[in-house]
Amino acid sequence: MKHLTNLILISFILNIAFAKAQTDYSQDITEIESKVIEWRRDFHQNPELGNREFKTADKIAKHLKSLGIKVQTGVAKTGVVGVLKGKRPGKVVALRADIDALPVKERADVAFKSQATGEYLGEEVPVMHACGHDTHIAILMGVAEILAKNNDFSGTVKFIFQPAEEGAPPGEEGGAELMVKENVLKNPDVDAIFGLHISSGQDINTISYKPGGIMAASQSFEIHITGKQSHGSTPWTSRDPIMAAVKIIDGLQTIVSREIPLTQEAAVLSIGKINSGVRSNIIPEEAHIVGTLRTLDYDMQKYINERMKEMVPAIGAAYRTEATISIPEGYPITYNNVDLTTQMIPSLEKAAGKENVKVIKAITGAEDFSFFQKEVPGLYFFLGGKTPGSKEAFPHHTPDFYIDEDGMLLGVKTFIQLTMDYLEN
């Protein structure tokens, strides 16, 4: 009986201590909001493209070092990793934020509007945080500051600031895939990883998630067509690569619309770029097509890939041209570990309130966070960034993309709640 009484007393004391820690976190979370917004605006005004995030990485590293966190720089070219140990041994949780921007010219009317430029495909381009990665950086920096100040917990937290989520420049490696190759999930070995993405179309102070596949596998493909050049006045002396390109694009669209059981899972095939010709009266010799394939089922992906490889050269030959296609592996499906997701749902609900946490259907966007999830159990969720009641939400990757900063604090709170609940339980 005495032994049982002691156990009850110890449990009671630990619960009080844990509750106190949670209260302290809440106070610190509230107090850090202005810093998080200030950091976000700085990154927004000074964006950098993938594998070129030199100033961004330097600011992150300086902040982590100022907190006494062990820092590694130059990971996957420009990534930054911080390791914070709690006062007691335990599991290892990784938290990830992507840090790169996009070649987009900003139109949003904000005081911290980006005027930055960079180089993309050999050309000078405008640069903008048109996907909200600036908010991800600032949120994770806030989490790092709070946990470094209150490190009376079990286990270790690894802060992963990842470059090139939007893709590395042609001819380069980058992003989460390269981080995995460089053992970012090792030493110490990560037990679980959490990631978030701000959503311009979802109300602030809400969270959405889905067990299993939440985002699609993504593949970019390139098609090259070679014909015979001729004068535009005598097309019968040509082998027209533009005509072949039109028919190839038309044919590829029928794979999804006529051969795929879309009631099972979604699939999307889109053409994003066509290059051919120099002037109106010359039928060119070559044409080049670039597109993307999004799938939520690996068997569907395999089938579509095989049909694309059959169809492209066959249609090209039908129009007396030679057509070849290249389909690299791309990003895997962003897959939320079902057991981990089930375990952490109460944490999401504690952070946002049960009424503000919703399960969604899978979307055909893609995320290279999926490379981390192939190695360790992971949970990826969406954080609301839209002002409630606003009439229009501008999509990601567009010049008018806009985020309501009032929703960022929930990101800080949710990351901390997930981390502490996972480590302490």
Tell me the β-bridge partners of 239: 228
319: annotated active-site residue: no
Amino acid in the structure at residue 167: G
β 217-226/282-283 pair status: unpaired
Cis status of the peptide bond prior to 188, with omega within 30 of 0? yes
H-assigned helices in 82-237? 133-149, 175-181
Judged by phi (left if over 0) then psi (alpha if -120 to 50, else beta), residue 47 lies in beta
Q: Is 215 within 8 Å of 382 (Cβ atoms)?
A: no
331 given a catalytic annotation = yes
Please name which of 215, 63, 74, 83 lies closest in space to residue 160, comparing C-alpha atoms: 83
Which one from 331, 335, 380, 402 is the annotated catalytic residue?
331
Phi, psi (rounded to 5 degrees) for 324:
-125, 155
For strands 88-98 and 154-162, give the pairing.
parallel
Tokens of residue 357, six digits: 């946490």
Going by C-beta distance under 8 Å and a sequence separation of 6 or more, which residues neighbour residue 3?
A: none
For residues 107 and 126, the answer to whether their CB atoms sit within 8 Å is no
* Cα gap 413→72, rounded to integer Å: 25
> To which residue do tokens 């605006």 refer?
41
62 CB-contact burial (10 Å; exposed 0-12 / middle 13-18 / buried 19+): exposed
H or E element in which residue 322 lies: strand 322-326
Buried b (16+ CB within 10 A) or exposed e, 286-325: bbebebbbbbbbeebbebbbebbeebbbebbeebebebeb
* 285/382 Cα distance (integer angstroms): 46
Q: Beta 357-359 vs 207-209: how paired, if at all? A: parallel
Considering the candidates 173, 182, 375, 405, report the single residue annotated as catalytic.
405
| Of 148, 147, 113, residue with least CA distance to 129 | 113
3-state secondary structure of 340: helix
Catalytic residue IDs:
331, 405
